[in-house]
Amino acid sequence: MTEETNVSAPGSAGPEATYEAQQHGGAGRPSGLRVCVVGASGKLGRYMVQHALDRGYEVVAVCREVSVDKLAEFSERITIIPGATDDREVIGRAVGACDAVLTVLVAQGVHHYSSGTAQAVLDHAPPGTRLVFSCGYHITRDGQDVYTWKVKALVKVVGRLARLVRLVDLDDQVEACRRVFASDTRWTVVRGSDLEEGEPQGLPVWSRHVGDPILKSNITRRVDFARFMVEAIENDELVQEAPAIVGCRTPSALAHAAQPAPA
């Protein structure tokens, strides 16, 4: 039996260059929530910024100084704090007054970038802050995920090669999530399938474990992944969950939806 469910939608920066946020929400009603997006200049991050603004959230964006220009389209509506996402001082300034933090855990380099980012967020976010992290299917919380031999071989070989050339360290992303899982914060770790660009298809569906037939298609629109991250902020059912998601219009998701409900 699938464990799938859907997310239900609710409804000072220092001397660096900053841009004060303007609140723009549905029907012109700001929500009052202040949300930090850590890793805001990437493709996923920019989609999260847009979704957050669409919901009337005040947005603080953290990105590397060299990537600030990628946020130019939002510059009049958000606060931008340039800096490395594993810089504890930068994260401390960014998250201190926030109600929620959305963090892209990037397995970049071999200097503990993911775990450093996660630890900085865990340490500096105020008590009770909603914390939502993104990672891939290869992360497991309880060891009950089921992977094909191809996936296991790919992670092992690609991960080893990437670490040898000092580009990516998947093990550090595992360590980052281990720290999140061990914390007593209001966390969610969203585990994403392969991603593609395209028009929004709707909110992804999810399961607690990779290997569930609903996830077989292994593809999600990046814009929809970002929506899941943002909508998780106000969904308490996802607190201390590690949902693995897939696009709601994929063949595996549609096949599941077509199955008759159990008697």
Model confidence at 8: pLDDT above 50: no
Helix, strand or coil for residue 163? Answer: helix
Helix axes 113-124, 88-95, angle to 10 degrees: 40
DSSP annotation of 249 reads: T
Q: For the residues of 79-120, what is the DSSP string, one character each?
A: EEEES-TT-HHHHHHHHTT-SEEEEE---BTTTTHHHHHHHH
Give the C-alpha separation, 184 to 239, whole Å.
11
Radius of gyration of the chain (CA): 18
Residue-wise pLDDT for 138-149, tens only, equals 889 999 999 876
Q: What is the pLDDT of residues 221-257, one digit of tens each?
A: 999 999 999 999 999 999 999 999 999 999 999 999 9
Q: In whole angstroms, what is the distance from residue 188 CA to residue 149 CA? A: 27
Length of the chain counted residue by residue: 263
Is residue 21 predicted with pLDDT exceeding 50? no
Residue-wise pLDDT tens digits, 89-134: 999 999 999 999 999 987 554 457 889 999 999 999 999 999 999 9
2 vs 188, more confident: 188
For the cut 80, the answer to whether the pLDDT of residue 212 exceeds it is yes
Q: Per-residue confidence at 7, pLDDT binned at 50, 70, 90? A: very low
Residue-level pLDDT at 166 = 44
Q: What is the pLDDT of residue 259?
A: 82
Instruction: Give the H/E segment covering residue 231.
Output: helix 222-231
Q: Please count the CA atoms within 13 angstroms of the CA of 198 that sit on its side-chain side.
A: 12
Nearest to 32 by CA among 9, 16, 55, 63: 55
At 42, the pLDDT band (50, 70, 90 cuts) reads very high
Looking at this protein, which amino acid is placed at residue 191?
R
Question: What does pTM read for this prediction?
Answer: 0.83
Assess contact for 59 and 77: CB atoms under 8 A: yes
pLDDT of residue 23: 32
